[in-house]
């Protein structure tokens, strides 16, 4: 039995190693989740670390906390104006798409791999949802921008499809354990998950915004802590009344992140760090739980199932779910390819494991193998596939400002970044020639990674990034001026 000193030492050491190897993710394009899993596996019983760990309950608890942090952080940084137009398509993928994937994988397991149908459907349910942590991480760490609202569609889908996957997994596990099927209870549970989760997320988040803008705390550091407490409170409130806590947290994050709220910038930074800590902790724990030597026993079935999921089940479910949408064939293929499997399927695979059903260890190892395959095949190749499918757009402007601007209460002013395109009509003209709205003020210009304070006679160059303090209602006018 390890003492608390040993536990703290090993945990901190593994986290430090994981953070350092993220440079490999940046330099070689390897998905961070794959590297975190590898560290956990190397530290585990079959690895060089020889840390014995097989507590499924602790794994589920770590996964739950991590997903709350990841989904809330993802919601905070999601622009509601970009996801609103794709809400119907995202809901279709998060419901119809998840069910179709589960059914197709279940049938493949039954007629190709020889599983009982209910066990095949259980595997299908576990791997049916895309993973928010993986999608957020890959798209944002590689600064991948996609055309035609594909990026918000993928992020909204990955944030909303967990309830359906969880529901299907728990239902099929219960069916196997009790050998009974109650359609009425199943239908009611599904409706309750979505309805209560959405309601709690919306109502509580509105109250949180009001509280933040009215309360006056003596210490600024307490605001992020208060927000963290509310994130867990939202999850717990929804879960205790039978709703989806994950959906509630994600919706709350979107609403809070798109509201004028005090200490918003510090909150975003705080939760960005916590989301990374959550990812590292979750994948390390999952890596410790698996025995690599056991993966060899299912490698044949794992490869077949992975290839079917990546190249058949996911594409077909996306095509059918988006059949009535306006997306083109190449865009649907992009949505299919970026639908990564990550920590959520592995965490869901612990549900039958903790329930003690037959062959649950085989199911867990197959799911783990599928996640690794998805990370290697899809995660590594996303930036190449999106270019091949011609769905990439100009990367988002993202610079580190030498100053911070904090929106207070209902103040509508915001410090925003705008780039001067190389083919812009404003290139080689002065700032006075921009004729910006009178309430707009250019604070800095970033040119060749250097900042300087401009004046009215400053000549603009293609590629300049302008940091402009402005009212949000002037944004459309500014964009038109800078084209």
Q: Phi and psi at residue 418, in whole multiples of 5°? A: -135, 140
Query: What pLDDT shows up at residue 402?
Result: 61
How would residue 241 be classed by pLDDT, with cut points 50, 70 and 90?
A: very high
Q: Is the pLDDT of residue 233 over 80?
A: yes
Measured CA to CA in angstroms, residue 379 lies from 265, 340, 373 at distances of 29, 7, 9
Q: Is the pLDDT of residue 124 over 80?
A: yes
Q: Is the pLDDT of residue 53 over 90?
A: no
21-25, 168-172, 340-344, 383-387: lowest mean pLDDT where? 21-25
* Cα gap 371→343, rounded to integer Å: 8
Structure tokens of 137? 């991480």
How would residue 20 be classed by pLDDT, with cut points 50, 70 and 90?
A: confident
SS3 239: helix
How would residue 196 be classed by pLDDT, with cut points 50, 70 and 90?
A: very high
Under 8 Å between Cβ of 155 and 139: yes
Q: Is the pLDDT of residue 4 over 90?
A: no
Of 425 and 320, the structure prediction assigns the larger pLDDT to 320
pLDDT digits (tens, 9 = 90+) for 351-405: 898 888 888 889 999 999 998 898 888 888 888 898 899 988 766 555 566 665 5
Mean pLDDT is highest, among 30-34, 111-115, 281-285, for: 111-115
How would residue 106 be classed by pLDDT, with cut points 50, 70 and 90?
A: very high
* CA angle (115 as vertex; 311, 298 as ends), nearest 5: 65
CATH placement of domain 11-388 = 1.20.1530.20
pLDDT digits (tens, 9 = 90+) for 458-474: 888 887 888 888 876 77
Q: What is the mean pLDDT of residues 144-161?
A: 83
pLDDT digits (tens, 9 = 90+) for 31-40: 777 788 888 8
Query: What pLDDT shows up at residue 219?
Result: 84
Of 233 and 372, the structure prediction assigns the larger pLDDT to 233
Alpha helices for 183-263 (secondary structure H): 183-214, 222-240, 245-257
Instruction: State the CB neighbour count (10 A cutoff) for residue 273.
Output: 13
Q: Is the pLDDT of residue 143 over 80?
A: no
Count of CA atoms in the C-beta half-sphere (13 A) of 92: 15
pLDDT digits (tens, 9 = 90+) for 163-179: 888 888 988 998 888 87
User: Cβ contacts of residue 213 below 8 Å, gap of 6+?
Assistant: 260, 261, 262, 409, 410
How would residue 206 be classed by pLDDT, with cut points 50, 70 and 90?
A: very high
* Cα gap 422→419, rounded to integer Å: 9
Q: Report the top-level CATH class of 413-481.
A: alpha beta
User: What percent of the chain has pLDDT above 70?
Assistant: 90
Query: What pLDDT shows up at residue 2?
Result: 65
- Hey, which residues does 470 pair with through a beta bridge? 414
* Cα gap 316→293, rounded to integer Å: 33
Q: What is the mean pLDDT of residues 60-65?
A: 88
pLDDT digits (tens, 9 = 90+) for 410-433: 556 777 777 777 677 778 888 888
User: What percent of the chain has pLDDT above 90?
Assistant: 28
Query: What pLDDT shows up at residue 102?
Result: 96
pLDDT digits (tens, 9 = 90+) for 267-277: 888 998 998 89
The full set of domain ranges for the chain reads: 11-388, 413-481
* Cα gap 246→115, rounded to integer Å: 31
Angle between helices 32-43 and 4-20 (to 10 degrees): 140
pLDDT digits (tens, 9 = 90+) for 85-96: 898 999 999 999
Mean residue pLDDT of the chain comes to 84
């Amino acid at each position: 039995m390890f003492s608390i000193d040993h536990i703290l030492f090993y945990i901190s050491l593994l986290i430090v190693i994981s953070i350092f190897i993220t440079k490999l993710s940046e330099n070689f394009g390897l998905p961070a989740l794959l590297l975190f899993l590898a560290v956990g596996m190397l530290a585990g019983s079959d690895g060089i670390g020889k840390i014995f760990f097989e507590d499924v309950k602790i794994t589920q608890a770590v996964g739950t906390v991590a997903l709350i942090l990841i989904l809330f952080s993802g919601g905070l940084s999601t622009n509601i104006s970009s996801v609103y137009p794709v809400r119907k398509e995202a809901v279709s993928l998060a419901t119809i798409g998840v069910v179709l994937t589960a059914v197709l994988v279940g049938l493949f397991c039954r007629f190709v791999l020889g599983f009982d149908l209910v066990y095949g459907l259980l595997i299908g349910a576990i791997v049916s949802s895309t993973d928010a942590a993986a999608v957020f991480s890959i798209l944002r760490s590689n600064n991948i921008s996609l055309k035609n609202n594909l990026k918000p569609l993928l992020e909204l889908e990955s944030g909303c499809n967990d309830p359906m996957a969880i529901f299907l997994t728990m239902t099929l596990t219960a069916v196997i354990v009790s050998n009974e099927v109650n359609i009425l209870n199943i239908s009611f549970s599904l409706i309750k998950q979505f309805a209560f989760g959405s309601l709690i997320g919306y109502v509580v988040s509105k109250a949180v915004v009001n509280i933040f803008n009215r309360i006056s705390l003596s210490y600024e550091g307490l605001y992020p802590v208060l927000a963290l407490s509310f994130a867990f409170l939202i999850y717990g409130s929804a879960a205790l009344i039978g709703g989806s806590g994950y959906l509630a947290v994600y919706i709350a994050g979107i609403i809070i992140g798109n509201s004028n709220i005090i200490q918003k910038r510090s909150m975003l930074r705080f939760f960005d760090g916590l989301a990374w800590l959550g990812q590292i902790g979750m994948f390390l724990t999952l890596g410790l739980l698996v025995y690599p030597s056991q993966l060899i026993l299912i490698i044949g079935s794992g490869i077949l199932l992975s290839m079917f999921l990546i190249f058949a089940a996911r594409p077909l479910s996306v095509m059918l779910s988006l059949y009535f949408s306006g997306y083109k064939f190449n865009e649907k293929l992009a949505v299919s390819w970026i639908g990564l499997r990550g920590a959520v399927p592995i965490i869901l695979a612990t549900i039958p494991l903790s329930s003690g059903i037959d062959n649950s260890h085989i199911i867990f190892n197959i799911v783990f193998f599928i996640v690794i395959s998805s990370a290697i095949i899809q995660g590594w190749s996303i930036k190449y596939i999106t270019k091949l499918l011609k769905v990439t757009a100009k990367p988002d402007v993202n610079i580190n400002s030498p100053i911070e601007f904090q929106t207070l209460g209902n103040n509508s002013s915001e410090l925003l970044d705008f780039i001067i395109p190389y083919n812009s009509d404003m290139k080689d003209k002065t700032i006075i020639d921009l004729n910006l709205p009178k309430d707009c003020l250019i604070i800095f210009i970033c040119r060749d990674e250097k900042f300087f304070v401009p004046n009215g006679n400053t000549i603009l160059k293609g590629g300049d990034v302008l940091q402009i303090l402005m009212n949000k209602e002037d944004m459309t006018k500014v964009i038109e001026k800078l084209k």
